[in-house]
Amino acid sequence: MISIDDLDRVLGWMLKDQLQALEVSEGNARIRLKMADRPGMPAPRVEAKVLARGLGRFLVAHPRSGEPALKVGDQVVAGGIVGFIQNDAVLLPIVSAHAGQVSEVHVAAGSLLGFGAPVLTLMVEP
Amino acid sequence: MFDTLLIANRGEIALRIQKAAKGLGLRTVCVYSEADAAAPYLETADQAVCIGPSASKDSYLNADAIILAALQTGAGAIHPGYGFLSENTAFAQAVVDAGLVFVGPDAACIRAMGDKVAAKKAMIAAGVPCVPGPDSALPYDFIEIRRIATEIGYPVILKAAGGGGGRGMRVVRTEEELAKAVAVTREEAERFFSNPDIYIEKFLENPRHVEIQMICDSHGNALWLGDRDCSMQRRHQKVIEEAPAPGIDRVLIAEVGERCARACRQIGYVGAGTFEFLYEDGQFYFIEMNTRVQVEHPVTEMVTGLDIVAMQLRAARGEAFDVVQSEISTAGHAIECRINAEDPYSFAPSPGKLTEVVLPEGEGVRVDTHIRAGYVIPTHYDSMIAKLIVHGRDRGEALARMRAALDGFHIGGVVTNIPLQAALMDEPGFVEGGMNIHHLEHWLAERSSQ
């Protein structure tokens, strides 16, 4: 089933590739998107990835905070901590540069993150 | 005893180590930089971890990240390959301090061999022939320095004790030049190597570069695996290597090899290592020891039938070798051409996407490479993309096989030095064999002036 988030993502691609219209058919379902002619329409949200800038195990929150893991649909603020990278005695916060809504969580708690690995995808107001 | 090996290197040697490790049934972990994220050998590793951005200092030279990656992936040992951290004393020690095995000699051996004065002292103690000159750093008293230089006889060469790779050296041909040369070399030694010690040696005008391959286990077995001639060099970088060195008395080689083995036993050396010598007028002169596996190790493997990287791993696992010196012999002749993505005559690097890769095949042909069609050569590292090695019953057959193999080696999308290597296989001096270390530079200079 297509969600509003998916539409945002498709609109983001259209914007990036300067497509005026896009049509997708699958079985009996058909969806057609067309860029508005009128100025002043709200711009679609775009995707942004939060990446690991270090190496280690992914923690969803500080071990002493007990906060729950972020899930799809949660809101993140710019500068907000979205998790930690633990390596030996070092805890490195993973900071989101953007405010937005979580559209995808790429890693499970405890998994090994390499440098530059995607942690979350956010839908961000441009 | 470890069962998982982390490979702290990139390119062809990362793949070479991976193959040897798999042959021993080890699990392999490859670390890589962001620029190498699409490297083909990451697909065949049991695990791959990105340790940092493209710049070497942030990834392949980042000792902390590499050790942390080993601890996080359950690796019990780290193989440093060549270059990068392979001869870094602090790294070797940090690996051991983290409870891991460093595949190579211990930090004390690396430190001793990295200091040229200490290395020379150790070699003289073991009876390894050295270049004439004192086995200690030069004093500060100029009258004494002048006396030493006169005793050796001009020309002499001044070298920084902590230097290497052709840096921090100065040739002095007359007594009048000596005072200024000493001052400048000392100043450079302090500035570049943080060690003001310099030493003096006889300068050899037209030597060849001949080296002895060593492999040692931790049970006192120090084996020498024959010699290599690496005289075909440009700017101190080897271009072609071969084994054995043409035209050198085998009895003399065996004598030097035995002395190298004795030196290794005396310093408690474990792992692969190379004694580099200058060879002139029938005499060997020790210049330095490399405490790692070398780029040109395959030519020795081709003539001895031994797997040097597998032996490194066995030694690191604490195993005793199952071969003894009397069982080691060399058969035939092997030649290696380094294949670089660079202009064959201007030597300008040529990074980019490979549109076609056709590897040569044939009897006695070996290609050590990590490339394939579609691979993008990153701009951040050196330009060597493959090593082409051939083996023949004698040097003539090896040369013929190398000509055919170079002819059958096609790389599209970038420029390579294959045409230079092909030209050198027909160059009268190289074909004759036994040329000195200046031969290639002279040939290139002559060619460009025509």
Distance CA B358, CA B350 (A): 18
**Cβ–Cβ of A115/B53 closer than 8 Å?**
yes
Residues B169/B155, Cβ–Cβ less than 8 Å:
no
Same domain membership, residue A119 and residue A75 = yes
The answer to whether B256 contacts chain A (CB < 8 Å) is no
Same domain membership, residue A18 and residue A53 = no
Q: Is B254 exposed, middle or buried (0-12, 13-18, 19+ CB in 10 A)?
A: middle
Report residue B213's pLDDT band, with 50, 70 and 90 as the boundaries.
very high
The 10s digit of each residue's pLDDT in B112-127 is 898 888 888 889 998 9
Mutate to test the interface with A, among B50, B66, B71 (most CBs of A within 10 A): B50
Report residue B217's pLDDT band, with 50, 70 and 90 as the boundaries.
very high
Same domain membership, residue A51 and residue A26 = no
**Cβ–Cβ of B49/A87 closer than 8 Å?**
no
**Cβ–Cβ of A87/B34 closer than 8 Å?**
no
**Cβ–Cβ of A56/B65 closer than 8 Å?**
no
Could you tell me the residue range of the domain that residue A52 belongs to? 46-124
CATH at A77: 2.40.50.100
Active site residues of B: 292
Indicate whether B290 pLDDT > 80: yes
What percent of chain B is predicted at pLDDT more than 90? 91
CA B72 to chain A, closest CA, distance in angstroms equals 7
CB atoms < 10 A from the CB of B429, how many?
A: 15
pTM: 0.89
Same domain membership, residue A74 and residue A102 = yes
The 10s digit of each residue's pLDDT in B25-81 is 999 999 999 999 999 999 999 999 999 999 999 999 999 999 999 999 999 999 999
Residues 6 or more apart in contact with residue A115 via CB below 8 angstroms: A52, A53, A54, A55, B34, B50, B51, B52, B53, B59, B65
Question: What pLDDT shows up at residue B30?
Answer: 98
The answer to whether B66 contacts chain A (CB < 8 Å) is no
Residues 6 or more apart in contact with residue B182 via CB below 8 angstroms: B138, B142, B145, B158, B198
Residue A66 located in a structural domain: yes
Indicate whether B166 pLDDT > 70: no
B220, B322, B320: which is closest to B265 by C-alpha? B220
Query: Which amino acid, one-letter code, is at B239?
Result: V
Same domain membership, residue A24 and residue A53 = no
Question: What pLDDT shows up at residue A1?
Answer: 61
B440, B396, B442: which is closest to B417 by C-alpha? B440
The answer to whether A53 contacts chain B (CB < 8 Å) is no
CA A95 to chain B, closest CA, distance in angstroms equals 17
Residues of A in contact with B34 (CB under 8 A): 115-116
Same domain membership, residue A59 and residue A109 = yes
The 10s digit of each residue's pLDDT in B176-199 is 999 999 999 999 999 888 889 999
Indicate whether B16 pLDDT > 70: yes
The answer to whether B70 contacts chain A (CB < 8 Å) is no
A to B CB pairs, distance under 8 Å: 35
For A110, nearest residue in chain B (alpha carbons): B72
Residue A50 located in a structural domain: yes
CA dihedral sign of residues B187, B192, B194, B196: negative
The answer to whether A102 contacts chain B (CB < 8 Å) is no
Indicate whether B167 pLDDT > 80: no
Same domain membership, residue A54 and residue A15 = no
Residues 6 or more apart in contact with residue B420 via CB below 8 angstroms: B239, B344, B345
For the segment B8-20, the average pLDDT, to the nearest whole number, is: 98
The 10s digit of each residue's pLDDT in B218-237 is 999 999 999 999 999 998 89
Least-confidence region, from A20-24, B13-17, B124-128, B189-193: A20-24
What percent of chain B is predicted at pLDDT more than 70? 99
Report residue B164's pLDDT band, with 50, 70 and 90 as the boundaries.
low
Question: What pLDDT shows up at residue A126?
Answer: 74
- CA distances to B50, B183, B355, B382 from B54, rounded to whole Å, are 10, 39, 23, 13
Indicate whether A4 pLDDT > 90: no
**Cβ–Cβ of B71/A88 closer than 8 Å?**
yes
Residue A29 located in a structural domain: yes
The answer to whether B34 contacts chain A (CB < 8 Å) is yes
The answer to whether B46 contacts chain A (CB < 8 Å) is no
CA B71 to chain A, closest CA, distance in angstroms equals 8
By Cβ distance, the residue of B52, B65, B73 closest to A112 is B73
If you average pLDDT over every residue of chain A, what do you get? 86
Same domain membership, residue A66 and residue A15 = no
Same domain membership, residue A71 and residue A19 = no
Indicate whether A6 pLDDT > 80: no
Same domain membership, residue A54 and residue A22 = no
Question: What pLDDT shows up at residue B116?
Answer: 82
Phi/psi at B20 (nearest 5 deg)? Answer: -65, -40
Strands (DSSP E) contained in chain A are 21-26, 29-34, 46-51, 56-59, 75-76, 81-87, 90-95, 100-105, 112-113, 118-124
For B52, nearest residue in chain A (alpha carbons): A115
Q: How many structural domains is chain A composed of?
A: 2
Question: What pLDDT shows up at residue B4?
Answer: 98
Residue A39 located in a structural domain: no
CA B50 to chain A, closest CA, distance in angstroms equals 5
The 10s digit of each residue's pLDDT in B316-367 is 999 999 999 999 999 999 999 999 999 999 999 999 999 999 999 999 999 9
Same domain membership, residue A15 and residue A73 = no
Indicate whether A36 pLDDT > 80: no
Same domain membership, residue A61 and residue A85 = yes
Tokens of B20: 């040897």
* Helix count and strand count (H, E) for chain A: 1, 10
Indicate whether B387 pLDDT > 80: yes
The 10s digit of each residue's pLDDT in B236-258 is 899 999 999 999 999 999 999 99
Indicate whether B292 pLDDT > 90: yes
The answer to whether B50 contacts chain A (CB < 8 Å) is yes
CB atoms < 10 A from the CB of B308, how many?
A: 20
Question: What pLDDT shows up at residue A20?
Answer: 83
